[in-house]
Amino acid sequence: MKADAVRGHLDGLLLAVLEQGPLHGYAIITAVRERSGGVLDLRTGTIYPALNRLERVGLLGSDWDAVGERRRRAYHLTDAGRASLAEERSSWREFTAAIGSVLDPAGHVRPAT
Amino acid sequence: MRSRRKAVAAVPESVPESVGESGADPVARYAAALDGALHGPRAAKARLVEEVRGGFEDTVAAYEDEGLRREEALQHALDEFSSPDDLAPSCQRELTVAQARHTARSVVRTAPFLAGAWLLVDTAREPAHPAHQAAQLLAVHLAAAACLAVFAAAIALAVTGSLVRRAGTPQWLPKAMAWTGTAASVCTAAAALTLAITSLMSADWVIVAGAGALAAASHALVAGSARACRRCARLPIAEPAGIARLG
């Protein structure tokens, strides 16, 4: 699989790992890696501007947590973020079903419309 | 799950002096270099740099937990994050939008000042001399142009905020906002100057001077932010790359 195949799904990945509860940036990267069985490795530095953008458009909220002498920003899903994640999931299922029905017509049952 | 150790194996063992040298803390140096490469609203920039620095420290700590020496852990963290210069364009993208929003808010905040200036000019008695009338009219028109900028700024705030959640921010928007702010700044400065001169010849000089002061206050609100926005709009930006590698 090429990295291009998952380009454009960064927002969905970030929203999905925050569904269970608040996480800070590094924990989000770890969660994506674990949930993908080690297949997806987010580019570490660029995740922070992406999280900032999702917060700006109201899909995430955040709070500073004190960790010893340091502070970490923990992000959580907003209601709008949950709704957006549901949309993202739905469109991903439609997309994979459509691609699957073309690439593997024998093994793929097209969902009833 | 793929452990960090697998990624470590692919990286050369040599640790450049850039991260291994003694003296200043390399993490602090990385954060300072990133801070120097970025431009935008002070609070937004400080927050982003602090987050990246925290993530960098977390990554170093994770490598150290796997048994690497501090210098090796720093080098591997640097490989993951890429250099501050390489990382800056994706961070700058968000800061440029933040600066555009800051400028838009500054322009919107001038609305009450401009409305006040307009009302004051409206209540002042008509100047007797045609030149004075023309000057007062010019001031009113400049204030009207600034009001158009307020309207444009309100649209920019909506487009970059929660009203448009999933649509990306148009690339031209920060530049457009920078020049909208600049136009508002120039108009309010010219209006303030015109009203100040007119007040010297006006029967209601206190009212006209008050209107000029409000226009000057509007200029003060916008000028600095518009300048910063023009600088941000010139900087290179990049879409966050997202996926570093697929296993």
Each residue's pLDDT tens digit, B95-133: 999 999 999 999 888 877 777 777 777 776 666 667 667
Task: Tell me which of B4 and B26 has the higher pLDDT.
Answer: B26
Q: Which two tokens stand for residue B81?
A: 């994050």
Does A4 have pLDDT greater than 70? no
Identify whether the C-beta of residue B202 lies closer than 8 Å to the C-beta of residue B132: yes
Confidence of residue A64 (pLDDT cuts 50, 70, 90): very high
Q: What is the largest CA-CA distance in chain A?
A: 58
> What average pLDDT does the segment B160-185 reach?
82
Most confident listed range (A49-53, B135-139, B154-158): A49-53
Percentage, residues of chain B above pLDDT 70: 81
The per-residue pLDDT of chain B, averaged, comes to: 81
Confidence of residue B6 (pLDDT cuts 50, 70, 90): very low
pLDDT tens digits, residue range B38-62?
999 999 999 999 999 999 999 999 9
Picking from B81, B112, B131, the residue at the C-terminal end of a domain is: B81
The domain in which residue B11 lies consists of 4-81
- A69 assigned to some structural domain: yes
> What average pLDDT does the segment A62-66 reach?
91
pLDDT tens digits, residue range A19-63?
999 999 999 999 999 999 988 888 777 789 999 999 999 999 999
Say whether both B63 and B147 belong to one domain. no
Picking from B81, B112, B141, the residue at the C-terminal end of a domain is: B81
- A110 assigned to some structural domain: no
Say whether both B120 and B228 belong to one domain. yes
- A40 assigned to some structural domain: yes
Closest Cα in chain B to A31: B1
Say whether both B131 and B175 belong to one domain. yes
- A113 assigned to some structural domain: no
What per-residue confidence (pLDDT) applies to B4? 53
Does B32 have pLDDT greater than 60? yes
**In chain A, helix, strand, coil percent, each to 5?**
50, 20, 30
Q: Does the predicted interface ipTM exceed a cut of 0.85?
A: no
Say whether both B129 and B192 belong to one domain. yes
Task: Tell me which of B76 and B2 has the higher pLDDT.
Answer: B76
From the candidates B243, B245, B246, which should be mutated to test the interface with A, based on the most A CB atoms within 10 A? B243
The answer to whether B161 contacts A38, with C-beta atoms less than 8 Å apart, is: no
A66 touches chain B (CB under 8 A): no
Closest Cα in chain B to A37: B1
> What average pLDDT does the segment B168-195 reach?
87
Say whether both B27 and B75 belong to one domain. yes
Q: Which residues of A touch B165 (CB under 8 A)?
A: 57-59, 80, 84
Bridge partners (DSSP) listed for residue A42 = B243
Nearest residue, CB atoms, B247 vs list A7, A34, A39:
A39
Does B134 have pLDDT greater than 90? no
What per-residue confidence (pLDDT) applies to B16? 42
- C-alpha span between B133 and B50 (Å, rounded): 55
pTM (predicted TM-score): 0.81
- B181 assigned to some structural domain: yes
Q: Which residues of A touch B48 (CB under 8 A)?
A: 48-49, 52
- A53 assigned to some structural domain: yes
Percentage, residues of chain B above pLDDT 90: 34
Confidence of residue A111 (pLDDT cuts 50, 70, 90): low
From the candidates B165, B232, B235, which should be mutated to test the interface with A, based on the most A CB atoms within 10 A? B165
Identify whether the C-beta of residue B120 lies closer than 8 Å to the C-beta of residue B189: no
Please give the torsion angle defined by the CA atoms of residues A38, A45, A51 and B243, in that order, rounded to the nearest 10 degrees: -40
Length, in residues, of chain B: 247
Identify whether the C-beta of residue B197 lies closer than 8 Å to the C-beta of residue B187: no
The answer to whether B240 contacts A43, with C-beta atoms less than 8 Å apart, is: yes
Q: Which residues of B touch A71 (CB under 8 A)?
A: 50, 54
